[in-house]
Structure 1
């Protein structure tokens, strides 16, 4: 797919991987809709790149449907590139040392990471089906964000790993289902990246984390995630697969 001139929707677009993705796609000529629960920061990113923004709680199905419709109306064409970056990384043991259970955290993580992703995918696909096929025969591409934790989640990451594992698992069946209308589905599973969550950690903690990354021996740059998004969008033969983007890291138990 030629990215220039296409409409792209990016959730979590106000910061981290989402903001880097929004900026990169805009630099390649995409018309970008920045969706985020923080409406003010989303507007700042959209203003910077000449895009459109809307506050959106991705756990609210109606809000997601409205955001997709608003972006379609704003650009007068349906989205072709949809990137789900919004998510939370809450951690808790199944039963803590104090005996407290964590079902509330599990429910919240699944609601944001999994249901939020599914909401946008659903309404974006509905909009894409109205579009004419491109020269490649495709109508669009859905790019969801899994995590390296879906394969090697750490202690305390049961909820997070479950949510990201589900995103990885639904990639192939979704791609098969959407093959007829020509809509691709790909998941990217990033490893350890410079994001607001990582940047809040003490420097010594970050250095311990970096020790486990073989090469490049550093945290990932969000711009590298954004580059992978663009590569997926451009390559019409990438479909139904999960791509690890992690510097060959395999997360230790803790």
Structure 2
């Protein structure tokens, strides 16, 4: 039986790389996307041309009706759901005293409400032996200025992750979060000058930015062989303390 995964935020960056890795691992994948229809359909076209199974479905992760349709479509197309990777997220950076509250609200809707809505459907639908994988961030432990609202939203993701793992006792479903460090994606690079990027890249002992495929490798691990890893936050950041 082919295993089935839903990946939100699957049209670009870490989400897209996770889609590609899971298809390589033999999954049929539903690419959830918000507004990047062309990119989502491009990745599906590329994967299906290579013999993979993938479809694209638009869904605002903060909209419980749209997310229900996303899960319904996955079940209709492929017969069930084994893994949910919730990679959709937004980031607005500014000192706490200066951040516009509407920017904070947008992060709250996508990063907190979105995680809750997606995980709620996942908790109801993922089959025995499955996995739910959320996304936090290593900035939560670094206390970097300008990240207060974003880090707060990811703190909520970690709380949801750890509690849901315990609530699914007896279901043989793992629930974990991946917390990337600085990773070379549009979400991270947008608005940063070369000096800032170089400084952040130098934080890790490996002296580079993470790559989306580095994070997708962790997703693959949690989606497949990592059956004894549960209720954890894996900080995939190259050794940043």
Q: Is the pair's TM-score, using the shorter chain for normalization, greater than 0.5?
A: yes
Residues 238-253 of structure 1 mapped to structure 2, 5 A cutoff: 238-250=229-241
Tell me if structure 1 keeps the 8 A contact 2:86–2:115: yes
Instruction: Kindly report structure 1 stretches of 4+ aligned residues shifted beyond 2 Å.
Output: 197-205
Task: Name 1:91's counterpart in structure 2.
Answer: 93
- The equivalent position to 1:58 in structure 2, one of 29, 40, 61, is 61
Q: Quick one: distance in 2 between partners of 1:94 and 1:169?
A: 22
Is residue 169 of structure 2 the alignment partner of residue 179 of structure 1? yes
Alpha-carbon offset, residue 91 of structure 1? 1.2
Tell me if structure 1 keeps the 8 A contact 2:116–2:160: no
Q: Quick one: distance in 1 between partners of 2:93 and 2:161?
A: 24
Q: Quick one: distance in 1 between partners of 2:150 and 2:143?
A: 8
Is residue 4 of structure 2 the alignment partner of residue 7 of structure 1? yes
The TM-score with structure 2 as length reference comes to: 0.92
- The equivalent position to 2:147 in structure 1, one of 143, 157, 179, is 157
Alpha-carbon offset, residue 57 of structure 1? 1.0
Alpha-carbon offset, residue 36 of structure 1? 0.8
- Note the aligned Cα RMSD (angstroms): 1.5
- The equivalent position to 1:21 in structure 2, one of 18, 22, 43, is 18
Residues 138-149 of structure 1 mapped to structure 2, 5 A cutoff: 138=129, 140-149=130-139
Larger CA deviation: 200-209 vs 183-192: 200-209
Task: Name 2:71's counterpart in structure 1.
Answer: 68
Task: Name 2:219's counterpart in structure 1.
Answer: 229
Tell me if structure 2 keeps the 8 A contact 1:7–1:31: yes
Residues 26-41 of structure 1 mapped to structure 2, 5 A cutoff: 26-37=23-34, 38-41=36-39
Alpha-carbon offset, residue 206 of structure 1? 1.4
- Residue by residue over 1:212-246, the C-alpha shift from the partner in whole angstroms, topping out at 9 and shown as x without a partner, is 222x1100111111111111122111101111000
- The equivalent position to 2:193 in structure 1, one of 202, 210, 216, is 202
Alpha-carbon offset, residue 249 of structure 1? 1.3
Structure 1 unaligned segments of length 5 or more: list them: none
Structure 2 unaligned segments of length 5 or more: list them: 49-53
Q: Quick one: distance in 1 between partners of 2:17 and 2:209?
A: 15
Q: Quick one: distance in 2 between partners of 1:236 and 1:246?
A: 22
Tell me if structure 2 keeps the 8 A contact 1:59–1:115: yes
Q: Quick one: distance in 2 between partners of 1:205 and 1:152?
A: 16
Tell me if structure 1 keeps the 8 A contact 2:90–2:187: no
Q: Quick one: distance in 1 between partners of 2:119 and 2:159?
A: 14
Q: Quick one: distance in 2 between partners of 1:115 and 1:235?
A: 27
Alpha-carbon offset, residue 184 of structure 1? 1.1
Alpha-carbon offset, residue 40 of structure 1? 2.0
- Residue by residue over 1:66-123, the C-alpha shift from the partner in whole angstroms, topping out at 9 and shown as x without a partner, is 1110111111x21101101110111122222xxxx63222211111111111111111
